[in-house]
Amino acid sequence: MNHFVMDAFNGYRSRLDDITLVHEFLEELPLKLGLKPAMPPFILPYYDGVVPEDCGISAFVFFVGGHFTIHTFSFREAYFVDLVAPQGFDAVKLESTIRETFPAERVVSYLLEREKKESYPQKIEINKDLDFGPHLFLDFSDYTGPASMDDLFSLFDTMPFKIGMTPIMRPYVVKNTLGNEKVTSILTMIAESHISLHYFEESKRAYLDLFSCRFFDYNEVIGKLKQVFNGIVTNETLISRGSKYHQFKKVAASQSGHRESWLDNVYKR
């Protein structure tokens, strides 16, 4: 399973709040990358939420066996992207396409193969005071957990509450065929970001993602997840998203005064 990760900071609030722009981007991206969408884009504006500064747009589109998600935090001038797909894709083209649509001064990105630890970037020590939030990769072989569309929907409908998260939509689940293999994909958006699972029926593989903009009790959450998603764990990795984000945020804030610099030049304040 290929997974592209991108964190961007000091972007443009007007673009990160533009629902039409996000929708058009998600419609066009699969075609540009040669990936087959399994649904129309799903766009979810999020304003006046639990934390006012978390305002922005969460959006996703399912591919056959994978997904693309983008979470914009317009007030924070940041956005976070994930593209998960079983087939290969041009990561350089993907990043350039994203940056053309959503320019940002600071970008961190990498492409990894979920099954290969050596493909992961050099470990960055997680700093809960500086980083944006955690992203958990949890992959299974011989998966025997909930597998039907009904069972997965029931699980994802209540799971955010059980692990201390806040759902902002009902789960979205689709079933497709990749080659000769049936794949069930499910995703739910949470105030903290998203939870997703892709289950490959014949090979009994499953790939779970939990991305949160706030840190949580890892041992408690991972224990609850393993109780529900039964199988042999082949990959359990916790990474930070937005490493040193709060340092970048201060840089963006310090530039806000530039917007009124013309007053000094014209009126000699």
Q: Distance between CA 249 and CA 100 in Å, rounded? A: 22
Of 145-149, 227-231, 258-262, the range with the lowest mean pLDDT is 258-262
Which tokens is 69 given? 């998600």
User: What pLDDT score was predicted for residue 257?
Assistant: 56
Element (H, E) at 4: strand 2-11
Domains of the chain (ranges plus CATH)?
A: 2-253 (3.60.90.10)
- Using pLDDT thresholds of 50, 70 and 90, give the confidence band for residue 116: confident
pLDDT at 266: 74
User: Cα 75 to chain center, whole Å?
Assistant: 18
Q: Whole-number mean pLDDT of the chain?
A: 87
Comparison of pLDDT for 44 and 252, the residue scoring more: 44
- 132 DSSP 8-state letter: -
Is a pLDDT exceeding 50 seen at residue 250? Answer: no
Q: Is the model's pLDDT at 146 over the cut of 90?
A: yes
Report whether pLDDT(53) > 70. Answer: yes
Residues near 69 by Cβ (< 8 Å), separated by ≥ 6?
58, 59, 60, 81, 82, 83, 187, 194, 196, 211
The amino acid at residue 18 is D
Residue 65 pLDDT level (bands cut at 50, 70, 90): very high
Report the predicted TM-score, pTM, of the whole model to 2 decimal places. 0.88
**In the predicted structure, residue 252 carries a pLDDT above the cut 80:** no
